[in-house]
Amino acid sequence: MICKKCGSECPDGNIFCEACGAELEAPVLPDNVDDKGRMKKKAKAVKPKAQPEKPRKEHKEKKKRTPEEKAAFVKKLKMGAVCLAVIAVIVIIVLVVRLIGANDGYNAAKKIPVGRNVDYAQSETGLVFTEKSTNGMINNMADFDYICISEETTKVSGSEQPRWVILLTVGEEDIINAVEYYDFTQLKLNWKGRKMPEMLDQNSLEYGMNIKNVNKTLGIKPYYIKRTVSNDSTYCYRYFYTDPVEGYDRSFNYYVEFSDVEMAVKNVDYREINYAATILSASDDSEKAAADTDPAAESETSEEEASEESAEE
């Protein structure tokens, strides 16, 4: 080591100069020399492993369509759009026809003017009324003076029946006193009516409730509607449920009386029914009366009997 102050040589490892006593500075060794003055061995550089080259994707050039091909493509799109539009129109027409067809009897019955004669009613509605029907079951179902039956039919418990029936009761000079409408499509699944979990409560409807809320509350549509000159309407809802105690099905007619002007609930009543097995299997030319008639259509026996039956229930 060489003292920078006096230039004297000093043994390695000394901190101070033996000649002048100055502090010695250790020489700075290069990076390739160790503290003993030996050359350091160079480390072999590790070459990274060569990665296999990924195959390059060949970019296919899009084939440009000719004007003729573009015109043909546009034509196909237009034809497809037209076909879809035609199908949509057909579906809408079918749905509308079915909807109108399902309500044609109901709408016609509503138009029949109570208090006018039969000829006027026919001219107003386009319906044709006769004094009797070729359907024996219908003839024996209720007392009436004139009848009109739909040409379309529906199956009720396997028996082919008209979709709807309109009955007229008239007085002098064929003045209409009452209009009765039967919708057999409501009995399509079962002649006993709609399947319900339990007996309907008379108190479920409120006085003054409108027809829309009545249908919503009961969850079923009316099977029978009667309008009279007293400006009142009676709607009958038929349903059945399985009695958990007795173990058999019980069928009921649930009557709702409306004021004809406001169509607001005035009264609610019900009656259990017991149809004979032949009531819906009678042949068209059958003259045999059914064992039991429909309480919704039969003539009124007496208010006292109806009250007693309701009280017993």
Residue-wise pLDDT tens digits, 6-37: 888 888 777 778 788 787 776 665 666 566 55
Task: Grade residue 293 by pLDDT with cuts at 50, 70 and 90.
Answer: very low
Q: Does 66 fall in a domain? A: no
Q: How many residues are present in the chain?
A: 313
Which residue reads 């000394």 in tokens? Answer: 14
Q: How many domains does the chain have?
A: 2
Are 9 and 129 found together in one domain? no
Are 156 and 24 found together in one domain? no
169, 145 contact by CB (below 8 A): yes
| 138 Rama class: left (phi>0) / alpha (psi -120 to 50) / beta | alpha
Task: Grade residue 302 by pLDDT with cuts at 50, 70 and 90.
Answer: very low
Range of the domain at 141: 96-312
Q: Does 86 fall in a domain? A: no
145, 131 contact by CB (below 8 A): yes
Are 17 and 101 found together in one domain? no
Are 305 and 211 found together in one domain? yes
Are 163 and 288 found together in one domain? yes
Alpha helices in the chain (DSSP H): 67-111, 118-125, 136-141, 211-218, 303-312
Question: What mean pLDDT is predicted for residues 188-205?
Answer: 88
Residues 294, 223: Cα–Cα separation, whole Å: 11
Are 19 and 156 found together in one domain? no
Q: Does 264 fall in a domain? A: yes
Q: Which residues contact 294 (CB under 8 A, 6 or more apart)?
A: 141, 142, 224, 253, 273, 275, 279
